[in-house]
């Protein structure tokens, strides 16, 4: 796997998706701590030097040193990420919308897989 | 509770383990059993954190009096360059090389852990990257999910712990009890000496198993292991069996026959139940041991017979000597100074949860239960990657979230486990094995007979009901808070169900026999009320005709049962 993708997965995808997968597979409604975990996965990440950063900021920073890859693929990932951020940001005010938020975050995983496939082809 | 050391540059893994996997305890650098993120000391300027790199992991390990059961190690460490391994980075110059070090830092840490703590098992949270070298080792496991979730991680940890236990000492689970630890130390010393060994312990404690699977393999002798249970051979045939016989020396001796002493020459002879030997044979045995030769019945030529002797008994040989029933000189030849006492199951209750888990997994994978397990799996859909060896036992309420995706998950309640802990286990491991087989047979049969179409619940999940545990243990069940009357009725179920698992007996017959006994017990407990039996077996609203039909299928006649009751 390309080092850039590996970094993206480590710094962003894994952190964001873990809590969503737990929630998706739990046979119960989430409590406040579950939702906080989901939120942290999107808004309390660390960059490669260990500094706090949100998923969106981290992605924008990573785009600056992205390998040669089509803009469409990057845009596609960015739109999925933005949608996930938007859904998770709604949670404090609308905790009932957790299913939509979980689904949105889980889509990051498939968007990442698509990005990896594109990079591999190119 | 298994103790884990989590080595990850981010706190997410330790946080998730703390929050979602209460069955594991995480160790920290400060020795407190909570991760930094939820520790009140965190905001008071505590400098001790969880292990985020190799040096912090080494510090955490150095603070522990015992190694943790497992280390969970991430692969990618996004940490500053100075904290990365190796310390000497002259071979890794430039941004790209440092990035590569970060990407594979887990492998460097793993190498260091293998060097410093060779007995520490490690689960590496790796990826399916083709370019990643996989270091091989007996205690290294890989969790290859691209993105981990708590359930997968728990399954991988459990699996690694089980494999570790399985590979610890051949097939023996030593556990944590002081008695077994002492026995293990003694065996480690004695196995290297040629001296005779005497095992003492109750029936079913695994004396012969230890002799065959631990002591003999470790002794390093090249000759064979010959096993003889002296309690199973008629006394008239014992002399020929032990010392051999020449053709024609007695009726039926149609050819020359070497005895077990001769067969085991240069190897190990295991004599089980040596306390059963009569005085005359004790004398002959003593002679063979002293001379290192044996003379077959009807022969005059002595033959070399100097095996290493391992003897076992479930009696107190010293007491037999005092009572004059065992020769003192033979007793001394058996090397009583180093006799090994194998503890009873009730003396190692701390190991019981693990032993129950292993017994259930063993039973689940056994040939005897395979047809029933297959029938169950055929009824409930399983994923394509289902594997027999991926099965797991989980203590707690049945939950899809806690089950394995690719294997069978048996759920066992903590209260049931507590009841097992209170049981005395007079039959020791033999009884435990039987309990495990029985409970699975019952539970599988109940599930198969229950109403419900395929796929109406999570597949490959099996729960052992508390009432079944009570019933199999032959003990009074724990009283229920609300249903005092029902509780007293269920209490009458306190009876043992016998299951004969032997070759030649078809599995359907065994299963039917178990069901038959269970239904008769219920019939008696509920005064023949089929509606109550139906509710007990199949839940509220279940039709009594279902029970009646099943009883008919099993050959149980209501009239006869009612007549017997009357």
For B294-333, the pLDDT digits (tens) are: 999 888 899 998 898 999 999 889 999 999 999 999 999 9
CA distance linking residue B379 with residue A100, whole number of Å:
34
- What is the structure's pLDDT at A79? 96
Q: Domain coordinates of chain B in residue numbers?
A: 3-168, 178-343, 349-565
The pLDDT confidence band at residue B459, using thresholds 50, 70 and 90, is: low
SS3 content of chain B, % helix, strand, coil (to 5): 45, 10, 40
pLDDT tier for residue B31 given thresholds of 50, 70 and 90: low
Contact call for residues B298 and B245 (beta carbons, < 8 A): yes
Nearest-angstrom CA–CA distance, B168 and B116: 19
Tell me the HSE value of A111 on the side-chain side, using a 13 A CA sphere. Answer: 25
Q: Which of B487, B488, B447, B486 is nearest to B464 (CA)?
A: B447
pLDDT value at residue B487 = 35
CA dist A28 and B380 (Å) reads 23
pTM: 0.47
Per-10-residue mean pLDDT, chain A, length 122: 84 88 81 88 82 91 88 93 95 90 93 89 78
Task: Check: CB of residue B190 under 8 Å from CB of residue B197.
Answer: yes
Residues B463-468 have a mean pLDDT of: 84
B38 CB within 8 Å of a chain A CB: no
Rounded Cα distance between B260 and B113, Å, is 48
**Min Cα–Cα distance to chain B from A36, Å:** 12
Residue B222: the pLDDT is: 62
DSSP 8-state assignment for residue B478:
P
Query: B78 near A8, Cβ under 8 Å?
Result: no
The pLDDT score that the predictor gives to residue B491 is: 41
Contact B49, B98 (CB under 8 A): no
Distance CA B280, CA B437 (A): 42
Share of chain B above pLDDT 90, in %: 13
Q: Name the pairing type of β-strands B25-26 and B70-74.
A: unpaired
Worst-scoring range by mean pLDDT, A62-71, B7-16, B51-60, B484-493? B484-493
A47 close contact with B: CB closer than 8 A: yes
- The pLDDT value recorded for residue A88 is 95
Cα angle: A65, vertex A67, A68; to 5 degrees: 130
Omega before B86 within 30 of 0, i.e. cis = yes
CA nearest A26 in B: which residue?
B401
Mutate to test the interface with A, among B8, B9, B11, B12 (most CBs of A within 10 A): B12
The pLDDT value given to residue B478: 45
Judged on CB neighbours under 10 Å (0-12, 13-18, 19+), B224 is middle
Helix (H) or strand (E) holding B523: helix B507-525
Beta carbons of B127 and B144 less than 8 angstroms apart: yes
Tokens 């003492």 belong to residue? B200
pLDDT of res. A115:
92
Q: So what's the pLDDT on residue A111? A: 93
Predicted-complex ipTM score: 0.79
Q: What is the pLDDT of residue B295?
A: 92
Our CA-based measurement puts residue A104 at a distance from the nearest CA of chain B, in whole angstroms, of: 16
Reported residue count of chain B is 566
B 142-201 residues with CB below 8 A of A? 146-151
Q: What percent of chain B has pLDDT over 70?
A: 77
**Position B167 pLDDT exceeds 60:** no
Q: Give B51's Cβ-side CA count (13 Å radius).
A: 26
Pick among 1.10.390.10, 3.30.980.10, 3.40.50.300, 2.40.50.100: CATH of B178-343? 3.40.50.300
- Interior angle at CA B312, CA B308 and CA B317, nearest 5: 115
Interface test with A, best of B96, B149, B383, B457 (most A CBs within 10 A): B149
Predicted local confidence at residue B328, as pLDDT:
93
pLDDT for the residue A106: 92
* Alpha-helix residue ranges (DSSP H) falling in chain A: 3-8, 14-25, 32-43, 55-64, 71-90, 98-121
Pairing relationship of beta strands B461-464 and B409-412 according to DSSP bridges: parallel
> How confident is the model at residue B177, as a pLDDT?
76
Nearest-neighbour CA in chain A from B86: distance (Å): 18
**pLDDT recorded at residue A76:** 94
Tell which residue, B157, B50, B154, has the closest CA to residue A21: B154
Alpha-helix residue ranges (DSSP H) falling in B140-225? 150-168, 178-190, 207-210, 216-219
pLDDT given at position B483: 38
Q: What is the pLDDT of residue B134?
A: 61
pLDDT band for position B283 (50/70/90)? very high
Half-sphere exposure of B44 (CA within 13 A, CB side): 4
* Domain spanning B3-168: CATH 3.30.2270.10: no
C-alpha distances in angstroms, B205 versus B64, B176, B181, B348, B427? 32, 16, 15, 11, 8
Q: Which residue has the tokens 């090994």?
A: B340
* Across B45-54, B178-187, B524-533, least confident range: B45-54
Closest CB to B149 among A18, A48, A50: A18
Of A11, A13, A33, the CB nearest to B147: A13
**Tens-place pLDDT, residues B419-432:** 888 888 888 988 99
Q: Does A96 touch chain B (CB under 8 A)?
A: no
B129, B122 contact by CB (below 8 A): no
A-B Cβ pairs (cutoff 8 Å, strict): 71
C-alpha distances out from residue B546 to B172, B468, B489, B532, Å: 44, 20, 21, 12
**Helix (H) or strand (E) run with residue B371 in it:** helix B370-379
Closest Cα in chain A to B402: A26
Whether residue B149 and residue A48 make contact (CB cut-off 8 A), yes or no, is no
B467's enclosing H/E stretch is: helix B466-473
The residue of chain A with its CA nearest to that of B52 is: A50
- The values of phi and psi at residue B453, to 5°, are -90, 165
For residue A61, the model assigns a pLDDT of 92
DSSP A36-50: HHHHHHHHSEE-TTS
CA angle A64, A65, A70 (to 5 degrees): 80
Nearest-CB residue to B10 (from A3, A13, A15): A15
Q: Is B127 on the interface with A (CB under 8 A)?
A: yes
Domains B3-168 and B178-343 share a fold: yes
Task: Give the pLDDT confidence of B325-367 residue by residue, as tens digits.
Answer: 999 999 999 888 878 999 999 888 878 888 888 888 888 888 8
User: Does B12 touch chain A if contact means CB atoms closer than 8 Å?
Assistant: yes
The pLDDT of B178-186, averaged and rounded, is: 82
Q: Coil, strand, or helix at residue B309?
A: strand
Q: What is the pLDDT of residue B480?
A: 42
pLDDT confidence of B489, banded at 50, 70, 90?
A: very low
* Burial class (CB within 10 angstroms; exposed 0-12, middle 13-18, buried 19+) of B93: exposed
pLDDT value of residue B387 = 65
CA distances from B479 to A110, B467, B474, B519, B540 (A): 51, 11, 15, 22, 20
- Summarised one tens digit per residue, pLDDT across range B499-556 is 655 555 566 667 777 888 888 888 888 888 888 888 888 777 777 877 877 787 777 7
Residue B558 reports pLDDT greater than 70: yes
CA distance to partner chain A, nearest, from residue B335 (Å):
59
Chosen for mutation from A3, A4, A18 (greatest number of chain B CBs closer than 10 Å) is A18
Q: Which residues of B touch A61 (CB under 8 A)?
A: none
The pLDDT value recorded for residue B343 is 92
CB B326 within 8 A of CB B317: yes
Is residue B445 scored above 60 in pLDDT? yes
Which of A39, A48, A115 would best serve as a mutation to test chain B binding (most B beta carbons within 10 A)? A48
B103 shares contact with chain A (CB less than 8 Å): yes
């Amino acid at each position: 796997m390309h080092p850039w993708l590996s970094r993206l997965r480590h710094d962003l995808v894994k952190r964001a998706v873990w809590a969503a997968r737990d929630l998706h597979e739990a046979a119960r409604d989430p409590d406040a701590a579950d939702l906080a975990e989901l939120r942290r996965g999107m808004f309390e990440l660390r960059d490669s030097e260990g500094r706090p950063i949100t998923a969106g900021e981290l992605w924008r920073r990573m785009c600056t040193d992205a390998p040669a890859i089509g803009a469409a693929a990057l845009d596609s990932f960015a739109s999925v990420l933005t949608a996930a951020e938007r859904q998770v940001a709604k949670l404090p005010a609308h905790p009932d919308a957790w299913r939509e938020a979980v689904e949105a975050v889980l889509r990051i995983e498939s968007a990442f897989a698509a990005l990896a496939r594109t990079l591999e082809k190119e | 509770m298994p103790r884990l050391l989590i080595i990850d540059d981010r706190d997410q893994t330790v946080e998730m383990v703390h929050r979602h996997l209460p069955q594991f305890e995480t160790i920290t650098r400060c020795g407190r059993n909570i991760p930094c993120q939820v520790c009140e000391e965190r905001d008071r300027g505590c400098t001790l954190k969880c292990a985020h790199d190799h040096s912090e992991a080494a510090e955490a390990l150095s603070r522990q009096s015992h190694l943790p059961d497992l280390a969970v190690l991430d692969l990618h460490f996004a940490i500053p360059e100075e904290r990365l391994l190796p310390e000497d980075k002259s071979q890794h110059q430039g941004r790209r090389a440092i990035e590569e070090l970060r990407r594979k830092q887990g492998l460097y840490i793993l190498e260091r852990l293998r060097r410093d703590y060779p007995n520490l098992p490690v689960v590496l949270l790796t990826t399916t990257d083709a370019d990643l070298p996989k270091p091989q080792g007996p205690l290294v496991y890989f969790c290859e999910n691209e993105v981990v979730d708590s359930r997968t991680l728990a399954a991988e940890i459990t699996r690694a712990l089980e494999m570790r236990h399985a590979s610890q000492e051949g097939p023996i689970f030593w556990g944590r009890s002081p008695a077994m630890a002492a026995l293990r130390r003694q065996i480690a010393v004695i196995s290297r000496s040629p001296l005779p060994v005497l095992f003492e312990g109750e029936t079913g404690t695994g004396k012969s198993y230890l002799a065959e699977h631990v002591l003999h393999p470790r002794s390093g002798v090249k000759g064979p292991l010959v096993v003889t249970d002296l309690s199973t051979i008629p006394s008239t045939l014992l002399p020929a069996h032990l010392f051999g016989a020449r053709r024609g020396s007695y009726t039926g001796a149609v050819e020359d026959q070497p005895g077990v002493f001769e067969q085991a020459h240069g190897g190990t002879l295991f004599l089980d139940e040596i306390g059963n030997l009569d005085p005359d044979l004790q004398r002959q045995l003593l002679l063979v041991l002293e001379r290192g030769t044996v003379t077959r019945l009807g022969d005059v030529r002595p033959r070399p017979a100097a095996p290493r002797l391992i003897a076992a008994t479930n009696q107190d040989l010293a007491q037999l000597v005092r009572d004059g029933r065992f020769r003192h000189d033979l007793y001394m030849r058996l090397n009583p100074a180093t006799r090994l006492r194998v503890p009873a199951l009730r003396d190692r209750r701390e190991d019981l949860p693990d032993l129950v888990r292993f017994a259930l997994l063993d039973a689940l994978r056994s040939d005897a239960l395979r047809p029933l397990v297959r029938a169950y799996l055929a009824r409930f859909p399983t994923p394509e990657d289902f594997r027999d060896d991926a099965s797991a036992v989980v203590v707690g309420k049945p939950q899809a979230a806690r089950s394995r995706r690719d294997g069978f998950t048996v759920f066992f309640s903590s209260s049931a486990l507590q009841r097992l802990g209170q049981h005395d286990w007079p039959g020791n491991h033999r009884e435990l094995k039987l309990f495990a087989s029985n409970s699975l047979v019952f539970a599988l049969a109940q599930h198969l007979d229950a109403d419900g179409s395929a796929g109406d619940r999570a597949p490959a999940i099996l729960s052992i009901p508390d009432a079944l545990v009570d019933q199999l243990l032959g003990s009074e069940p724990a009283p229920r808070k609300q249903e005092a009357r029902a509780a007293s009725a269920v209490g009458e179920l306190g009876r043992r169900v016998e299951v004969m698992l032997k070759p030649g007996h078809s599995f359907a017959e065994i299963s039917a026999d178990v069901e038959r006994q269970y239904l008769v017990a219920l019939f008696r407990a509920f005064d023949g009320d089929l509606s109550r039996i139906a509710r007990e077996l199949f839940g509220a609203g279940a039709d009594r005709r279902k029970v009646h039909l099943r009883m008919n299928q099993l050959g149980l006649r209501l009239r006869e049962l009612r007549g017997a009751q009357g």
